[in-house]
Chains A and B, each alone.
Chain A
Amino acid sequence: MAMLATGLTLEQFLSGYAGEFTGFLLAVLIHTLLLFHVFAVSPAFFIWLERKVSGRIQDRLGPTRVGGKFGWLQSVADGIKLIQKEDLAPAAADQWLFRLAPYLALVASFTVFMVLPFSRGWAAVVIESSVFLALAIISLEVLGIILAGWSSGSKWALFGSMREAAQMVSYEIPLALCALIPVMAVGTLNFVTIAEVQSGFFLTNWLIFHDPFTFVAFFVYFTVAIASVKRAPFDLAEAESELVAGFHTEYSGMRWSYFFLAEYASMLSVSCVAVLLFLGGWWSGTGLEDLLAPVRNWGQNFPVQGFSAGNYALNLLGAHIFLFKASLLVTVQIWVRWTLPRLRIDQVMTTCLKYLIPISCALFLGASLWPLTLTTILGRPMLLGRPVGDRLYEASHHSSSLPAATNVTRTPAAQEVVR
């Protein structure tokens, strides 16, 4: 996972040894394998966490037997059980679509991870409009779900998927509007740049504290994000108490677990987006990284940038901080699910259309007027801290590895090789 600023990309490096085509294939394989680990291992952890947290909230113990005192291996046991189950398709189902739909959901929720940077220079694909692309891909998961519900040939599944379609089409609007607010504060659609400007002390530099509107926007975004991954209190597509199991009523075994995997991976990906846009990306928020900056020069400079010893260590630290913050947000999602009662479908739609969309429109307007007003009154665009533009400029000139230089802003797929 290395797209770099001043060094070679992994693909260019491999191409130099193995030829253009093989290098490309190898780079794609390495990136995909690494991301697939994030994609597959994190849901296993979150499913265990969900069981444990829900147990504690309901005054139970949760899993205690598999893998010792805390039931660490519960997810593995679940997986083994699910693989053994029979793969059924009902007679009334549209067999072909029914078998295909879980993969659509899975692919969509996996693809989001391709555009997420996990640390400085650690992203599979760095493109200029990555925020936009991430939002577009997040909105695609619904396709697999509504196709699953339709092709099941069951009333419950059809109801579930109709609800999901109505819910997702409406909730995409406030999701995009709220994501636009930090984008507007920085002035770029690039995740990497947005995360880079949030270095330093969190109170002044994280975008959630940029102005009052981004502060509110974070909470609106998080609410909408819970709805967009169809978690309780917005899990109307599943609605176990009314619709048996909603869109996946007819699924069993591995195909069922693909939906499960996609849901938990999406929980992580929307949380990652929230961390990148509002909560300082891979920065700890203490300013510790500025003290550690000289470490980046340690070790022999490997041709693939970001892989010299010092750089690698700091990037690893950043990735851990990033994933820790994202996991905290996932924990909050779990906590919300087991605390709040489920809404009815009309309440879900009312919440979105009558409250969340007007609120996010007002926030959008406010966030665009805020710097203008402050500049008029105070003569500077921010109350606290240095303006984002200054930070952007400084970051690009001081640290040579701000990945805004030209040779990073391209997809590996479309990479031309230096000859």
Chain B
Amino acid sequence: MTVLQFLFAVFASTTCLGAVMVALTQNIVRMAFWLMVSVASAAGLFFLLHADFLAAAQLLVYLGGTVVILVFGVMLTAGGRTKSLSPTGGETILAAALALSLIMLLLFTVGSVDWERLNTLAKADQILPSAVQLENHTEPQLMESSPTGDERSPVLGAGRNGDTGHALGSAMIGFRPQWNRENQLVLGTGYLLPFEIISVHLLVVLIGAAYLARAKRQLPSSRRSTDATSTSLLWDQDSAQLDGSGSANPALSHSSPVRDDLSRSQNLVSGTGFSMFSSESPSQNSGEAS
């Protein structure tokens, strides 16, 4: 057993252990912990594959971002329901069906790979690196400055040992070496379009989130609006507090289209998303409103 195999075994088993424990645990915060274990071990697997940038992104996005926000959300909503989650019969069936189809997909993918060919390729590759290394002992060079990177690297355009950052960055802005039909390395367009689409999408999401957050703050005046029929307990307290200043504000006059929008969005918020925060009695909001 080589070091690599040993480390792979360690990380792969902790990834699986974390995933299984997420499914078996009842307490949602402990689930978050097991999710951390699983996600962090997956990052370890990426490191073993020399995909350093991907591994760091995995840690930053999933561990530092998603899990933190998950736990944060649980803390905001912590009631009796979230302390122990046990699925109902229908949920169990649905989850089992999903899991089965995923397993089938995975098995299909594993079966469709030509492992023999990969093995021979890997063995051929194993002879090369040592030769390359000995060569580099005598004459070091900046791999990152070479435009096409190391041709033996599994990632086109990347230096051999985990320098995927430069290759990824160039691919994102539209420079990606790829093999053409004559088996030559040429510069392709990379992932410029998907990258731009994702950036615009994220911007839209950001603006949307800011809009929803702003609507909450300007709500007090909407109490006097004709169509503001659903005001939750919290909004009422706010408007009572800010009554004087709210009515004195000329910017939020009665017939302003902006305000109508706001009150509509408020209906949306208190109707759907906001009921999450008052888990004790969801019906209380609508009762208060009518």
Q: Is the pairing of A and B real?
A: yes
Cross-chain contact B162 with A411 (CB below 8 angstroms): yes
Cα distance A24–B49 when bound, in Å? 18
Given contacts A128-B52, A136-B60, A419-B130, contact A410 B162 (CB under 8 A): yes
Task: Specify the main secondary structure of chain B where it touches its partner.
Answer: helix
Contacting residues, chain B, for A151 (C-beta < 8 A)? 29
Contacting residues, chain A, for B130 (C-beta < 8 A)? 418-419
Contacting residues, chain B, for A169 (C-beta < 8 A)? 65, 68-69, 72
Q: Counting CB contacts under 8 A, is A416 at the interface?
A: yes
Cross-chain contact A406 with B75 (CB below 8 angstroms): no
Q: Counting CB contacts under 8 A, is B171 at the interface?
A: no
- Contacting residue for B140 out of A5, A137, A147, A415, CB 8 A: A5
Within B101-142, which residues are at the interface with A (CB < 8 Å)?
126, 129-130, 132-134, 136-138, 140-142
Within A134-175, which residues are at the interface with B (CB < 8 Å)?
135-137, 139-140, 142-143, 146-147, 149-151, 158, 161-162, 165-166, 168-169, 172
Of all chain B residues, which has the CB nearest A389? B145
| Interface locus among B1-9, B225-233, B245-253 | B1-9
Of all chain B residues, which has the CB nearest A412? B3
Contacting residues, chain B, for A143 (C-beta < 8 A)? 36, 63-64, 67-68, 71
Cα distance A38–B140 when bound, in Å? 31
Q: Counting CB contacts under 8 A, is A94 at the interface?
A: yes
Q: Counting CB contacts under 8 A, is A405 at the interface?
A: yes
Q: In whole Å, how far is B83's beta carbon from the nearest beta carbon of chain A?
A: 9
Cross-chain contact B72 with A96 (CB below 8 angstroms): no
- Contacting residue for A410 out of B55, B71, B161, CB 8 A: B161
Cα distance A128–B266 when bound, in Å? 47
- Contacting residue for A97 out of B33, B129, B163, CB 8 A: B33
Q: Counting CB contacts under 8 A, is A257 at the interface?
A: no
State how many residues of chain A have any CB contact under 8 Å with chain B.
57
Most chain A CB within a 10 A radius of its CB, from B44, B78, B144: B144
- Contacting residue for B3 out of A21, A133, A137, A406, CB 8 A: A21
Q: Counting CB contacts under 8 A, is A409 at the interface?
A: yes
- Contacting residue for A168 out of B68, B159, B163, CB 8 A: B68
Cross-chain contact B56 with A133 (CB below 8 angstroms): yes
Cross-chain contact A413 with B47 (CB below 8 angstroms): yes
- Contacting residue for A406 out of B52, B69, B71, B159, CB 8 A: B159
Q: Counting CB contacts under 8 A, is B27 at the interface?
A: yes
| Interface locus among A260-268, A314-322, A396-404 | A396-404
Q: In whole Å, how far is B78's beta carbon from the nearest beta carbon of chain A?
A: 8
Contacting residues, chain A, for B141 (C-beta < 8 A)? 396, 405-406
Of all chain B residues, which has the CB nearest A193? B144
9 tightest CB-CB pairs across the interface, nearest first? A405-B140, A139-B64, A136-B60, A410-B161, A128-B163, A136-B59, A133-B56, A165-B72, A127-B52
With A6-B137, A165-B71, A409-B162 known, 5 other A-B pairs at CB within 8 A are A21-B3, A135-B60, A393-B145, A401-B140, A409-B159
Task: Give the interface of B toward A (CB within 8 A).
Answer: 1-4, 6-7, 27, 29-30, 32-33, 36, 44, 47-50, 52-53, 55-57, 59-60, 63-65, 67-69, 71-72, 74-76, 78, 126, 129-130, 132-134, 136-138, 140-145, 150, 159-166
Task: Give the interface of A toward B (CB within 8 A).
Answer: 5-7, 20-21, 24, 94, 96-97, 100, 127-129, 132-133, 135-137, 139-140, 142-143, 146-147, 149-151, 158, 161-162, 165-166, 168-169, 172, 188-189, 392-393, 396, 400-402, 404-407, 409-411, 413-419
